[in-house]
Amino acid sequence: MQLTREFYSRPTLEVAEDLLGKALVRVESNGDLTSGLIVETEAYVGVDDLGCHARSGKTPRNVSMWGPPGHAYVYFNYGMHWLFNIVTERDDFPAAVLIRAIVPIKGLEIIRERRSRRGDTELTNGPAKLTQALGIKRETDGVDLCQIGSTLYLEEGKIIDPATITTHSRVGLNSVPEPWKSIKWNFRVSLQFAKPYPVASEPLP
């Protein structure tokens, strides 16, 4: 069943943790269906969070993050990568959850093709890898994830044992001042659960 607006209309840290184990589903106009189980998320909360894009106020790029919850915030980074976020909290408050890693569920052959037939552990274990795998790009920015028939939405996946969840510093905020640089707003399902795929930035031994 498709997750509703109420799920996203909560404090961002709660949503980020609860998104673990949910299924991200992508339906494209040509009939391609791909999906994956979320295993790593990251919270970005408000203008005071100096790691969050909203620190610069409302701009053309981050305007989706200021909109109502349950919508996509997709942005372009490093000149070549698309990153997918889910807007949380309430209208006019900028906050979102970055999806950093999934485990493929459906459309594995499509995913393998889009990922240039890389090894199965390298398919969707990174924020830009999973958007490439699911065909999430510019046109997905602002999409309503709660709308019936949406090309992008979430649904129930697997029940996650809270004991298997770990928290970490957010990835890639090297020049961000403390405490934002080290605050543990990154959430992961333990490696054991994610087998045979590793979570981002932490390859299997």
Question: In 3-state terms, what secondary structure has residue 56?
Answer: helix
Among 118, 137, 184, 195, binds DNA (CB under 7 A): 118
Q: Is 113 exposed, middle or buried (0-12, 13-18, 19+ CB in 10 A)?
A: exposed
Query: Is 96 among the residues that bind DNA (CB under 7 A)?
Result: yes
Interface with DNA, residue 46, by CB under 7 A: no
Cα distance between residue 195 and residue 198, in whole Å: 7
Does 98 sit near DNA (CB under 7 A)?
yes
- Tell me how far, at minimum, the Cβ of 180 lies from DNA, in Å: 10
Six-digit token string for 84: 């997918």
Q: Which of residues 143-202 bind DNA (CB under 7 A)?
A: 170-176, 200
Q: How far is the CB of 138 from DNA (least distance, A)?
A: 9
CB of 110 to DNA, least distance (A): 16
Residue 122: count of CB within 10 angstroms of its CB: 14
C-alpha distances in angstroms, 16 versus 44, 162, 195?
9, 13, 21
Task: Count the site residues for DNA by CB under 7 A.
Answer: 38
Mask for 121-140, x = binds DNA (CB under 7 A): -x---xxxx-----------
